[in-house]
Amino acid sequence: MKLLEGIRVLDLTNVLSGPFSTLHLALLGAEVIKIENPKDGDLARKLGNQPNLNKQLMGTSFLAQNANKKSVTLDLKSPEGKEVFRKLVATADVVVENFRPGVMNRLGFGYDVLREINPRIIFCAISGFGQTGPDAFKPAYDQIIQGLSGVMAVNGDERLNPLRCGFPVCDTVGGMNAAFAIMAALYYRERTGEGQMIDVALLDSIMPLMGWVAANLLIGHQQPVLMGNDNFTAAPSGTFATADGCVNIAANQQKQWEDLTRALGVPELVEDPRFKERDTRKANRKLLTPLLEEKLRQHPTAHWVEVLNAVDVPTGAVIGLEEALLQEQCKHRQTLQPLNVEGIGEIPFFSLTAKFSKTPGTLDAAPPRLSQHTGEILGSLGYSAADLQALKEKGVV
């Protein structure tokens, strides 16, 4: 049995936050039906660095977020499309959308309407700022939220700030938050039989990830300090130069600091009044780093990773994305798994990273071609081949 076996999710989302959310539901066994516009579907189908795939409406951005899903095309503005959607809602457990607030109401499918069709329905709306409030109707992309959340303000150093994260962190965290909320709502429904509406905002979702930084400000009244690759909670803790690159060292505990000095051959620093105590080390990190790097530059990164980890000083190389994805630990964890995509070939996909002992997540199907499952799903609702052809001729599907 799969964890979400028997759960049907209607996925009206586009691009990233919504599809990332429903991807996790699909990996856990839910039947996720993407409801896409009949013309060209999810915008992500055209996004990616491979023009030939974009032309096939199978862009890399789409491929990354849509394994295990089914694709149904449906014009939700047409009377016939609305009728099909009503029938789907009656069979569904969850509806997820990431339109701007108000769009679902204008389509005639706000939560009040959906729960009349299906009282057990769980309706999750994902947006930049939430469904209400002074900014609710403003447009929002990940970059906008990174700026408005304070994320860009706390990244970088005095030379480079503000600085965005190198991937759409607000979209992905918002999607993960939505998946978590949907799972919680399903659990509540199991106990009460009641569905509900979930309002997820990207702005809300990202801010708790800055909890320590925010706590220093809200409780300790300390503004964030731009520290680049240094860790503000301890020293030495950050990125340091070696003979052939960089190494991350996190000597966050006093014993780790003392073991580090012995491993580097500078035990005298332990009693140096500038570095003896945790808080003084933090205050004098700019004096400390060159002293450590003088030793670290004598050997390559691999040497220090082995030597320092051997004495329980947390140490790791700073590697590129390709090397990171192919490292042995990720292979062992099966972080990436291959799937064959018809017309494209075998490509790697991220699997479910939470490992369940009894109900593991599985990659079962490649991301769908646009409208690949329209016939199957509408057929299950009672539409005949002739009905389907008529809907095609009208542009409904």
Reply yes or no on whether the pLDDT at 339 is more than 90.
yes
What is the tens place of the pLDDT at every residue in 270-286? 999 999 999 999 999 99
pLDDT band at 86 (very low <50, low <70, confident <90, very high): very high
Report yes or no on 222 lying in a domain.
Answer: no
Tell me whether residue 106 is in a domain: yes
Q: How far is Cα 377 from Cα 221, in angstroms, rounded to an integer?
A: 56
Please, are residues 98 and 59 in contact by the beta-carbon 8 Å criterion? no
The verdict on residue 80 lying in a domain is yes
Q: What's the whole-model pTM score?
A: 0.94
Task: Tell me, yes or no, whether 13 and 99 share the same domain.
Answer: yes
Q: Does residue 231 lie within any of the structural domains? A: no
Contact (CB, 8 A) for 101 and 123 = no
Residues 383 and 260 in one domain: no
Per the domain annotation, does 47 fall within a domain? yes
For residues 307 and 336, membership in a common domain is answered with no
* Torsion sign, CA atoms 162, 163, 169, 171: positive
Report the Cα–Cα distance between both ends of the chain, in Å, rounded. Answer: 33
Average of pLDDT values for 6-31? 98
Select from 294, 317, 340 the last residue of a domain. Answer: 317
- Domain stop point among 293, 317, 341: 317
Cβ partners under 8 Å of residue 133, min gap 6: none
Rounded to whole angstroms, how far apart are CA atoms 244 and 299?
Answer: 8
Q: Are residues 159 and 279 in the same domain?
A: no
At 353 the pLDDT is 93
**By CB neighbour count within 10 A (0-12 exposed, 13-18 middle, 19+ buried), where does 134 fall?**
exposed
Residues 35 and 121 reside in one and the same domain: yes
**218-231 pLDDT, tens digit each:** 999 999 989 999 99
pLDDT at 180 over 90: yes
Domain that holds residue 261: 246-317
**Does the residue 228 lie in any domain?**
no
Put residue 246 in one of left, alpha, beta given phi > 0 → left and psi -120 to 50 → alpha: beta
154 and 85 share one domain: yes
**194 and 120 Cβ atoms separated by less than 8 Å:** yes
In the chain, pLDDT over 90 holds for what percent of residues? Answer: 98
Mean pLDDT calculated for residue range 146-155: 96
Average of per-residue pLDDT across 328-340: 96
CA atoms within 13 A on the CB side of 2: 18
Q: Same domain for 74 and 143?
A: yes
250: domain CATH number is 3.30.1540.10
Q: Letter for the amino acid at 54?
A: N
Q: Is the residue at 33 inside a domain?
A: yes
Give the domain-ending residue among 290, 317, 344.
317
Instruction: Label residue 365 exposed, middle or buried (CB < 10 Å: 0-12, 13-18, 19+).
Output: middle
Per-residue confidence (pLDDT) for residue 329, from 0 to 100: 96
Q: Positive or negative CA dihedral for 111, 112, 113, 116?
A: positive
Question: CA dist 201 to 39, 141, 390, Å?
Answer: 28, 12, 39
> Do 194 and 312 share a structural domain?
no
CB 197 within 8 Å of CB 121: no
Give 2-30 as a DSSP string. Answer: -TTTT-EEEE---TTHHHHHHHHHHHTT-
SS (HEC) of 176-236 = HHHHHHHHHHHHHHHHHCCCCEEEEEHHHHHHHHHHHHHHHHHCCCCCCCCCCCCCCCCCC
Average pLDDT over residues 353-363: 95
Tokens of 1: 């049995």
Alpha helix segments (H runs only) across 239-342:
254-264, 278-283, 285-296, 301-310, 321-325, 328-333
Instruction: Domain count for the chain, please give it.
Output: 2
Cα distances from 176 to residues 18, 79, 99, in angstroms, run 9, 34, 17
Q: pLDDT, tens digit, for every residue of 32-54?
A: 999 999 999 999 999 999 999 99
Catalytic residue among 171, 199, 230, 259: 171
Same domain, 89 and 198: yes
- In this prediction, residue 1 carries a pLDDT of 87
Whether 291 is covered by a domain: the verdict is: yes
Q: Find the helix or strand (DSSP H, E) in which 72 lies.
A: strand 69-73
Whether residue 312 is found in the same domain as residue 339: no
Q: Which of 233, 208, 227, 232 is nearest to 218 (CA)?
A: 208
Q: Look at strands 94-97 and 336-341 and give their pairing.
A: unpaired
Q: Give me the pLDDT at residue 320, please.
A: 95
- For the question of residue 259 being annotated catalytic, the response is no
Are 172 and 251 in the same domain?
no
Mean pLDDT of the chain: 96
Q: What is the CATH number of the domain that holds 200?
A: 3.40.50.10540
Please indicate, yes or no, whether residues 29 and 124 belong to a single structural domain of this protein: yes
